[in-house]
Amino acid sequence: MKKLVGIAALFILMSPMAALAGEDPIKSAESAAFSSLASKATIMDWNDKVLRKGSNGWTCLPDRDTPGNDPWCVNDAWMNFLTAYKSKKNPSYTQVGVAYMLQGDTPVSNSDPFATKPTSDDDWVTGLGPHLMILVPDVATFSSYPTDHKNGGPWIMWGGTPYAHLMIPLGKVGK
Ligand SMILES: [Cu+2]
């Protein structure tokens, strides 16, 4: 419970900090995808506050106060995932999820969804460029994909957990 409160506090702290940095959260959120999608999307901050109501079923969220630029544009299945993830509950989506992260991402563990500091070099994913992230209702159908994020193509992040998803780089991976 203490951890949950801590995470909630973190998310509450994050939006004023982003605002202090002078970043327009709507512009930041929209930059996660291309304008034909993002301009009609709902814009929401990380406290679930709607900053702009959209009309196309997509939701974009601004860069968080973490290293790297990591705005998201997601469909309903991914919103279900993110809501569950924030409270460490199992997601319950039943449709395919699509998320755009065209600005890249914050460094993250490839195996531990809740790692708070860098893990081993083989596991810690840094320098992520533009990518798509796909959810499927039955994560067992991911089994033919590699989990190695350095394989040069798509890979499974957080495999073997309820948060498994397919990462699809839209550019070169690594240096
Ligand atoms: Cu991502």
Q: Give 2 Cα–ligand 1 centroid separation in angstroms.
A: 27
Could you read off the pLDDT tens digit of each residue along the chain, which spans 175 residues?
Answer: 455 555 554 444 444 444 445 679 999 999 999 999 999 999 999 999 999 999 999 999 999 989 999 999 999 999 999 999 999 999 999 999 999 999 999 999 999 999 999 999 999 999 899 999 999 999 999 999 999 999 999 999 999 999 999 999 998 876 6
Q: Give 29 Cα–ligand 1 centroid separation in angstroms.
A: 14
Q: How is residue 146 written in tokens?
A: 């590699």
Bridge partners, 159 (sequence order): none
Q: Give 127 Cα–ligand 1 centroid separation in angstroms.
A: 11
- Residue 23: the pLDDT is 79
Contact 131, 98 (CB under 8 A): no
Scanning the chain, the segments in alpha helix (DSSP H) are 2-20, 25-30, 35-38, 76-86
The rounded distance, in Å, linking the Cα atoms of 117 and 54 is 35
Q: Give 133 Cα–ligand 1 centroid separation in angstroms.
A: 6
Q: Give 74 Cα–ligand 1 centroid separation in angstroms.
A: 11
Question: What pTM does this model have?
Answer: 0.85
Which residues, 6 or more positions from 24, have their beta carbon under 8 angstroms from its beta carbon?
Answer: none
Q: Give 101 Cα–ligand 1 centroid separation in angstroms.
A: 6
For the stretch 68-83, pLDDT in tens is: 999 999 999 999 999 9
Q: Give 28 Cα–ligand 1 centroid separation in angstroms.
A: 15
Q: What are the b/e assignments for 100-137, b being 16+ CB within 10 Å?
A: bbbbbbbbbbbbebeeeeeeeeeebbeebeebbbbbbe
